[in-house]
Structure 1
Amino acid sequence: MDLVEWIRQPWAWYVAGPMISLVMFLLLYFGKEFGVSGNLRTLCSIAGAGKVNDFFRFDWKGQLWNLTFVLGGLIGGFIAKEYLSDSSVVGISDATVAQLKSMGIENPGSSYLPESIFSWEALATPKYALMLVVGGVLVGFGTRYAGGCTSGHAISGLSNMQIPSLIAVIGFFIGGLIMTHLILPHLLTL
């Protein structure tokens, strides 16, 4: 196996886990807290939202490192997708394929994201546009209500052994399971 082929393989937990731990150690060492949702507040503050609402009145310049971190994540994701992935189909079980087909998803497993849901054409339909808007509002409200997002609580908060983060992560998992198994199947078959 050559180097490029080796890089394109999924990284094992014993590689990715210590890398996440190293990043968390460095953040803790430098007194920083990681979280992606706080960047929306920073971007709104940069755009001048502090003139309208006190929530956006803070020293956003101290958060530029987090914007850089997210930009690096976006660039890294693009590089991984375009240059480091092996374009193979997603390996899912026959039972999952059958269940997804019964919900109206065409060719499940043939691509990473089903085109019948994740495409510009699907977004142009009222059903998926409404799902996107309502989902975005719920995620935005939930993030603000929980005091952070999944990355902030699950990675940073749990690393700092914060009980509120543990409660939030348990809530995220329960909500994800309810959505996946009880609500989404009904939404997709409407």
Structure 2
Amino acid sequence: MDALLQPWPWYVSGPLIALTMAILVLLGKRFGMSSNLETLCSLGGAGKFVDYFKVDTRPRRWNLMVVIGAVIGGFIGAHLLSSNDKVAISGDSIEKLESLGFESAGEAYLPTALFGAESLADPKVWALLLIGGFLVGFGARYAGGCTSGHAISGLSDLQLPSLIAVIGFFAGGLIMVHLLFPLIF
């Protein structure tokens, strides 16, 4: 049981991901969260308003299990398999985040300065969450998939567009963390 409470080493989790991807490739399936959310929108009736969502969802319903599994797995991991609530990040990162007003840095997965109930009274927080959500959604659609789809599924299929997208994701993440994040906060 103690082994479940620790982060899994690469030599366990890596082969499990590779096995999952091999099975999906052999079945002709693709993995990615944005396609799952696209299917949910189509099932929810978004096709009545946007032609993009007018698709046959029957062959894509299997991937909704990924969403259900992510929610259930996240809950189990956070509430049953975590030995403590501390987030394992460097002391330098904690100091930088605290200097920007994130007092809960290193103590919680979701910073209370953005996701706490009291922070939702601040219009700046709403603006950040709405703009960020729009940019993530637009970016996933524009890139033809999300980070998990391109980085796991696309690279497993040796797709050049996925390699370009992953390089873009990393470059964007570095720009956000080192240039934009300090300006916003």
Which TM-score bucket, shorter chain as reference?
over 0.9
Equivalent residue for 1:47, pick from 44, 49, 70: 44
Aligned ranges 1:3-18 → 2 under 5 Å: 4-18=1-15
Gaps in structure 2 of 5+ consecutive residues: none
Confirm or deny that 1:127 pairs with 2:124: yes
Matched, 1:185 2:182: yes
The DSSP-based 3-state class of the residue aligned with 2:150 is: helix
Candidates 22, 25, 36, aligned match of 2:22? 25
Whole-angstrom distance in 1 between the partners of 2:51 and 2:93 = 47
Instruction: Give 1:87 shift.
Output: 0.9
Stretches of structure 1 that go unaligned for 5 or more consecutive residues are none
What does residue range 7-156 of structure 1 map to in structure 2 within 5 Å?
7-156=4-153
Aligned residue pair count: 185
Query: Normalization by structure 2: what TM-score?
Result: 0.94
Q: 1:12 to 1:55 in 2, by over 3 A?
A: same
Q: Distance in 2 between matches of 1:5 and 1:80?
A: 13
Q: Which amino acid aligns with 1:113?
A: L
SS class of match (1:136): helix
Q: Deviations over 1:35-56 (max 9, x none)?
A: 1101222122112222333211
Q: Deviations over 1:90-133 (max 9, x none)?
A: 34333222211211111422333332222122133111110000
